[in-house]
Amino acid sequence: MEEKTKMKKVSTWKLQLRMILAMMIFGIIISVLVTIVGVFLGITYPAFYAGFFLLLILGQYLAGPKLVDWSMKVRYVSPEEAPNLHRMIDELAMNAGIPKPKVGISEFMIPNAFAFGRRQKDGRVCVTQGLINKLNEGELKAVLGHEIAHIKHRDMIVMTLISAVPVIAYWIALSTLFSGDNDSYSWVIGLAGLAAYIIGQLLVLFVSRVREYYADQESVAIGNDPHQLASALYKLTYESASASKEQIKEVQGFKAFFVNDVSDAGNEIQELSQLDMDMDGHLSQDELDRLKYDKINLKTSSKLMELISTHPNMVKRVKRLAEMS
C-alpha cells in the first residue's frame, strides 16, 4: 500500500508536442530535399522520392527490433533464468499500465540498460551483462523503471523514425559534395543535404535529451525512489568513465539507447563526484536532499557539450531528481 501511494500520473503532453513538432520539421526537411533532388534529376514527380523515403522508414520500422537484437547482442531470458529481472519488470509494467515487455540480456560488458520496440505490445527491456550485480535492487529497479517509461511514452518509436532522416541527408551530402561533379546543381543538393543533416541531427539530439527527463520522472511516478535512480546514474557514469576505449568504441553507435551518455562520462563524473559528500560511491537520500536547495554551477564547456549529447547533463538530471524527493 505504501508503494502505491507514491505513484502519480506524469503529464507528458509537452513531450508528445515536441515529438510531433520534430516529426513535422523532419517532414519539411525531407520535402525540401526531395524537391531539390527532383529538380536536379529532371524528375517532376517528387512523390516518387517521398514514397521511396517512406519505404525506407517503413523498412527500418519493421526490421528495427531485429537489427537492435543483432547489433546489441541480445539474448532473451525466461523467468527461470532471470527471476529477479522478471519480477521487477512485471511489477513496473503493471504499475505503468503497459503490457509486460520481453526481458533480455546484452553481451556488452559496459554496465547499462536500454529499451526498444515498434509499439508498447512489442516492447523489450534489456540489461547488459556488465550491469548484473553492479547495482543494488533499489537502483536496478529504478533504472528498469526508466526503461519501462520509454515504452510507456512511445518515444523509442519516434526516435527510430526520425533518426533515419539525418543519415539519409548525410548520404546525399556526401555523395554530391565529393562526387567530383562541378555542376552547380550538385553543390546546391550537397549543401542542402549538409544543412538538413546538421539541423536534423540537432533535433534528434534535442528530442533524445528531453525524453530522458520524462523517463526519469516516470520511473519515480511508478514507485521508485528518486535517490535510488540518482545513485544508479552516478554509478553508471562512474563505470562508463572507468571503461576502456575498446568498450566505449564497441557501444558508441548505440549510446542513444542507454541510460547515460557513455562517451562523455569522464567529464560528467568529475562534476558528479562533488555531490558524493562522504565519497562512498553512491548518492544517499541526505546528499540528494542537500542538492535540492543548492544551486548548481555548470562549466561553459559542459553546457556546450550537452548540445551535442544524446543525454541531458548528468548533474542537471540529478538536480531534477533531488527536486522530486
> Grid coordinates in use for 216?
526519469
Helix (H), strand (E) at residue 257? none
Helix (H), strand (E) at residue 198? helix 184-221
Q: In this structure, are residues 291 and 320 in contact, taking their beta carbons and an 8 Å threshold?
A: no
> Grid coordinates in use for 148?
519501462
- Cell 526508466 locates to 146
Instruction: With H, G, I as helix, E, B as strand and everything else as coil, classify residue 116.
Output: strand
Q: In this structure, are residues 98 and 133 in contact, taking their beta carbons and an 8 Å threshold?
A: no
- Cα 97 from chain centre: 21
Which residues have a Cβ under 8 Å from the Cβ of 108 and sit 6 or more positions away?
72, 73, 128, 129, 130, 247, 250, 251
**Phi, psi (deg, nearest 5) at residue 188:** -65, -45
Residue 147 among the catalytic residues: yes
How many whole angstroms separate alpha carbon 194 and alpha carbon 204? Answer: 15
> Grid coordinates in use for 243?
571503461
Catalytic residue, chosen from 80, 91, 137, 147, is 147
Q: How far apart are the first and last CA of the chain?
A: 19
> Grid coordinates in use for 294?
543548492
How many whole angstroms separate alpha carbon 212 and alpha carbon 217? Answer: 9
How many whole angstroms separate alpha carbon 141 and alpha carbon 69? Answer: 22
Q: Which value, in Å, is the radius of gyration of the alpha carbons in the chain?
A: 21
- Specify which residues 127 forms β-bridges with: 105, 113
Cite the active site residues. Answer: 147
